[in-house]
Amino acid sequence: MADPLSARPISKRDQNVLAFLRAHIALHGHAPTVVEISDGVGVSTRTVAKAVRSLSHRGLVKRHPRRPRGLEITTGTGAPVKAPHPLVEQLAKTRVGRGIPTREIAAQLDVRTSTVNNYELGLRQPTPQRLEQWAGALGLRITLTPTNLTEKS
């Protein structure tokens, strides 16, 4: 008999958790904590736990309960994740290299910590003004100019 859970489409919540998990692993080289997923996706830790159970039951995620950060993606299915903006990658590397917490940058940008996480993971794209603010918060100065603009005749 077929499992009724695996026959249903993956919920938007589960897709978001899986996308965040995939992007975090790609950016940091290790799985996020439940709290990091909660902050990044913007849901409670209890909701994250439910999503991880659902993804695990479907075979999309493997849990290692005795290991810290014990989540592993087991298949290539799930929500697509865009690569972060190249400038965002540099800003994130600078932030991490200087040991500046995400919440500190979020406070200086006047946004939620999850917003900065989503920028760094490629789940959201910051505006050019936000990129300039972010660089300023790190003590960097950047000037963004439009490129590859074409006029329609």
- Which residues lie across from 62 on neighbouring strands? 72
Q: Are 11 and 78 in contact (CB under 8 A)?
A: no
Buried b (16+ CB within 10 A) or exposed e, 90-127: ebbeebeeeeeebeebbeebebebbbbbbbbbbbbebe
Q: Are 36 and 24 in contact (CB under 8 A)?
A: yes
> Over the stretch 131-152, which tens digit does the pLDDT of each residue have?
999 999 999 988 776 654 454 5
Q: What is the distance between the alpha carbons of residues 133 and 128, in angstroms, rounded to a whole number?
A: 9
Give the confidence band of 109 by pLDDT, cuts at 50, 70, 90: very high
- Cα 55 from chain centroid (whole Å): 17
Q: Are 17 and 48 in contact (CB under 8 A)?
A: yes
Give the confidence band of 101 by pLDDT, cuts at 50, 70, 90: confident
Return the percentage of the chain with pLDDT > 70, whole number.
82
Supply the pLDDT for residue 147. 59
133: Cα within 13 Å, side-chain hemisphere: 14
Q: Are 44 and 34 in contact (CB under 8 A)?
A: no
